[in-house]
Amino acid sequence: MLDHVYGELALPGDVAGWRAVMRAVALRKRAMMLKHPWMVRTPVLTLTPHQLAVPEQVLAALDGLGMDEDTKMAVFRTVTAYVDGAVAAEIDLSRLMRDRGWSDTHETRVGLAPQMTWLMNTGRYPAYQGYLRAATRKDDPRWEFETGLDCVLDGIAARMGI
């Protein structure tokens, strides 16, 4: 089943360049995991032909950029860790909403309001309180994911000078 689902990650032939390949893989993996949330709980080292094709594509895209093999794998694993963690949090929120019977983010905020109010009233979280008051994209998980992904890719580019 895992191998079949990973087959959905096949990249179109027109994706070129390390950053475009990594971004495409990350976006497709997010979509795949959101479609199949059970994947969050699969062991990391389950190896299948389609699953192994993912690092193959990324490692090939990193060829010729002056990185040794260990660094290329570290770059791949860094992006993979970001994707897995961000999507797991997104899926966990969806599960919480479903388990509590909340149909949207407004109902979720209302449901969490008593605990959040208590926490904010402690005065211990002024930066988080500023986020709560000023953030305008709290309900845009795709924007949040892509912005975080771009930060990771920007960091890789800066670190590697590529």
Per-residue pLDDT tens over the stretch 47-85: 899 999 999 999 999 999 999 999 999 999 999 999 999
Q: What's the Cα-to-Cα distance from 39 to each of 3, 73, 83, 114, rounded to whole Å?
A: 11, 22, 12, 33
Which has the closest alpha carbon to 111: 103, 119, 102?
102
**For residue 43, is pLDDT > 80?**
no
**For residue 44, is pLDDT > 70?**
no
Neighbours of 83 (CB within 10 A): 23
Residue-range domains of the chain with CATH: 2-102+140-160 (1.10.357.10)
pTM, 2 dp: 0.92
pLDDT in tens, 137-162: 999 999 999 999 999 999 999 999 99
